[in-house]
A and B are shown apart, each in its own frame.
Chain A
């Protein structure tokens, strides 16, 4: 995780550091320049910069144009992007960045500390996660055009993990200042400092990005052009890969059932690295407002009835790892690996249900309404498994297929569900991704992806709030471990697994998975061989 000691990088002196990152294989001579990269995407987001949103697609396209202060290598270590050096004070109350000199925006204006200060304050104001990330930032000082100092009211131990382009993009102050962020035309035709310049966006069809000839990291970028194609149907995407019409796609661009076959493909690479920044995690959320599910025995009985390994195998084709605690194993620093899933034991489940006052009458105990987030196809399969597993216990589960809008409203607005399968990712830090699910103060009906269980536990609240401001990594780890134990015991949410995501790319495409956010990197290093 982020180091607190000062680490300085100065311009070209960083080159040796980058050497192993030049390609997937051993370091070779400089890649040849040229080529058009055809990147496929399933959905089209409403704009292209993740400055006021966290859309999946924005997060992939944006960083090619607008960069961040830092990037993170595959081990979560920060590496320079627009910042060349950074340091955090021991009390965690100030964070200092040295900025890269001689960087210009795509419109020719110089990039300075004012842009960074503006961007961070904007993120604090309008970004869904940025509000929390930068909540403790009270001031951003710009003593020189190439130095930025963040002043914090309280420590924010997660903050140094938040400066990737997909999370906290740096935008041009002169483009955004004095206008409402959400309606700025630059959101759909961005002006950045990145390796690629926005050229055109034909909605429903494609986006064209051209090489930035004035990029600060010359001779990069290697590519001449990136074409982003929108193909909504998964089979059509996989056919396009097979027909050689697509070079790369992130976020598992093909049906999961084809991943195993594709791994053996002579022409395509299938890579699961580059997704730890998202902290994938899938869970079954109980609605604790249901009097039956309010009983701990019932929740535990359901946990005993569901075999997490089966969920992983059946719903996700085994593509992931079982993750019985709220924190995904991807966040090694905080995941408590000693916690075991509830043993798969239908007999014990039946006993618990009997004890809870729900004996089997005419083959039935009670019925539950199950929903699932339609965002992932696997969720409908997971819910099919849960339906059967609980059905064998005499719990009748009715499943409804809802479209996304109806789903969000039904679960988080109307709360008209009993159990539901969700994918609430951890993001890069549990304070940002996990706290929202379990914090009693985040039970806010109408707000999507909040505390949908309606869980309230004072001790849990205390641990979450303490972990959010604890600068000492070891102590923070302790707090998160305590938290996981309580949640695992009280089961407001049955945590299931952490699924893998995959990048599929032609073997001739190199340099696409060098950072922890894989396809969300700036692609300056991507090249053809």
Chain B
């Protein structure tokens, strides 16, 4: 993630007015990048499946609808087979896209919001406040994050939303460091000094002047965070700490891991869904990064 910090920091900065042509350039660069297309296509499909899950597979995906252990590609009614309780795997994967994306996005949102707030205040204010917040960030980076996560999940109610919040809480320090660095470099720029001399308030300067310029870097980091949150949720589920009440890919792996040797597809299919989605998110992140960082093409 530090790579995004490094690269995004090199994006030429301008006043707010110049964002618009930049955005146009960015979109233009995205449009000619084949991996960006691939990433967005996969992600769009996953989001589409999640959105239309109740139409595609009506009913509760946790319902036991058939014999257990129907193999995939054997029965037309259950194209991806059924699990050890006779629940439809295809329905699980489609409905699971909702929970997994939800966990991913909520976690990334929480992590990004907290990290941006702390990083922005630290970077903009500097001085003692900065010192304190940097210490706080370091503190949370010093605690091994997965242990921290397991402890948090042991404390909070075992609900998907809480798991997502916990993942967000362990991921904010990365964003905070990134945003702080951005703000430190931006706050001395001409357009910020100009805004300050005109008498704009600090909140105006932070939210209206600096933040939009730091946004590309934050978005890139955010997209990667969604991916890692989905991975973290699956790891928690593997350790048996998921939420059994909603179908998520992690939960499917969690309940299928016992049958790993007898029914490989129960972990392989949701595992593949995770890999494909995380891959798409990372492709999108990379593409955004390349598009927002024009220097690579200047070479």
Contact across chains for A399 and B261 when beta carbons are under 8 A apart: no
Q: How many residues of A contact B (CB 8 A)?
A: 28
Contacts of B60 in A (CB 8 A): 388, 391
Q: Which 9 pairs across A and B sit closest by C-beta, in order of nearness?
A: A255-B258, A257-B259, A235-B260, A401-B244, A401-B158, A257-B262, A399-B245, A399-B244, A258-B262
Within 8 A of A (CB), among B250-267: 255, 257-263
Chain B residues near A400 (CB, 8 Å)? 157-159, 244-245
With a CB–CB cut-off of 8 A, which chain A residues contact B241?
Answer: 401, 403
Residue of B nearest to A403 (CB): B154
Q: Are A235 and B85 within 8 A (Cβ)?
A: no
Please name 10 pairs of A and B residues whose Cβ atoms are closer than 8 Å in the assembled complex, sorted by A. A257-B84, A257-B259, A257-B263, A380-B244, A388-B62, A391-B60, A399-B245, A400-B157, A400-B158, A406-B154
Residues of chain B lying within 8 A (CB to CB) of residue A458:
none
* A residues near B261, Cβ cutoff 8 Å: 235, 238-239, 242, 255, 258
- B: interface residue count bin: 20 to 34
Which residues in chain A, 369-390, are within 8 Å of chain B measured between CB atoms?
374, 377, 380-381, 383-385, 387-388
Quick one: given A235-B257, A235-B258, A400-B245, are A314 and B240 in contact (CB under 8 Å)?
no
Q: A398-B245, A400-B245 are in contact. List 19 more A-B contacts (CB 8 A).
A: A235-B260, A235-B261, A242-B261, A255-B260, A255-B261, A255-B262, A257-B262, A258-B262, A377-B258, A380-B244, A384-B62, A384-B85, A385-B64, A388-B62, A391-B60, A400-B159, A403-B154, A403-B241, A406-B154
**Complex contact B85–A385 (CB within 8 A):** yes
Q: Are B68 and A374 in contact (CB under 8 A)?
A: no
Complex: A383 Cα to B245 Cα, angstroms: 11
- A402, CB-defined interface residue at 8 Å: yes
Does B216 have its Cβ within 8 Å of any Cβ on chain A? no
With both beta carbons as reference points, the residue of chain A lying nearest to B157 in the complex is identified as A400
User: Taking the complex as formed, is B138 at the interface, i.e. its CB lies under 8 A from any CB of chain A?
Assistant: no
Alpha-carbon gap, A388 to B59, bound state (A): 12
Q: Note all chain B residues with C-beta closer than 8 A to A238.
A: 261
In the complex the two chains form, what is the Cα distance from A256 to B157 in whole Å? 28
Q: Which residues of A contact B88 (CB under 8 A)?
A: none
* Binary interface encoding of chain B residues 59-73 relative to chain A, with 1 for a CB under 8 A from any of its CBs, else 0: 010111000100000
Q: Which residues of A contact B (CB under 8 A)?
A: 234-235, 238-239, 242, 255-258, 261, 314, 374, 377, 380-381, 383-385, 387-388, 391, 398-403, 406
The yes or no answer to B242 lying at the interface (CB within 8 A) is: yes
Q: Which residues of A contact B154 (CB under 8 A)?
A: 403, 406
B196 → A minimal CB distance (Å) = 52
Q: How many A-B residue pairs have CB under 8 A?
A: 65
Task: Please tell me if the beta carbons of A401 and B243 are within 8 angstroms of each other in the complex.
Answer: yes
Residue in A234, A255, A257 with the greatest tally of chain B CB atoms within 10 Å: A257
A377 CA / B85 CA spacing, docked (Å):
13
Q: Is the CB of B240 within 8 A of A234?
A: no
Chain B residues closer than 8 Å to A387, beta-carbon distance? 62
For chain B, residues 42 to 72, give those with C-beta under 8 angstroms from any C-beta of chain A: 60, 62-64, 68
- Complex Cα distance, B256 from A380, in Å, reads 12
Question: For residue B85, which residues in chain A have a CB less than 8 angstroms away from its CB?
Answer: 314, 381, 384-385
Contact of B240 among A255, A374, A388 (CB under 8 A): A374
Q: Complex formed: what's the CA distance from A402 to B243 in Å?
A: 9
Neighbouring A residues of B260 by C-beta, 8 Å = 235, 255
**Are B262 and A261 in contact (CB-based, < 8 A)?**
yes
Residues on B with beta carbons closer than 8 Å to the beta carbon of A398? 245
Q: How far is the CB of A455 from chain B (nearest CB, A)?
A: 28
Query: Which residues from B are CB-within-8-Å of A257?
Result: 84, 258-259, 262-263
Contact of A401 among B64, B84, B240, B258 (CB under 8 A): B240
Min distance, Cβ A372 to any Cβ of chain B, angstroms: 9
Complex: chain B residue closest to A405, CB-CB: B154
Chain A minimum-CB-distance residue to B154: A403
Given the interface pairs A258-B262, A401-B244, the reply to whether A381 lies near B84 with Cβ below 8 Å is yes
CA A400 to CA B135, docked complex, whole Å? 37
**CA A257 – CA B259 in complex, angstroms?**
6
Rounded to whole Å, the gap between the CB of A393 and the closest CB of chain B is 14
Which residue of chain B is the closest to A391 with respect to CB atoms? Answer: B60
A262 → chain B, closest Cβ, in Å? 10
B64 and A388 form a contact (CB under 8 A): yes
Inside 8 A of B158's CB, which chain A residues have their CB? 400-402
Chain A residues, Cβ within 8 Å of B262: 255, 257-258, 261
A256 touches B258 (CB 8 A): yes
B:76-135 near A, CB below 8 Å? 84-86
Known interface pairs A399-B245, A403-B154. Does A388 touch B258 (Cβ–Cβ under 8 Å)? Answer: no
Chain B residue numbers with a CB within 8 Å of A399 are: 244-245
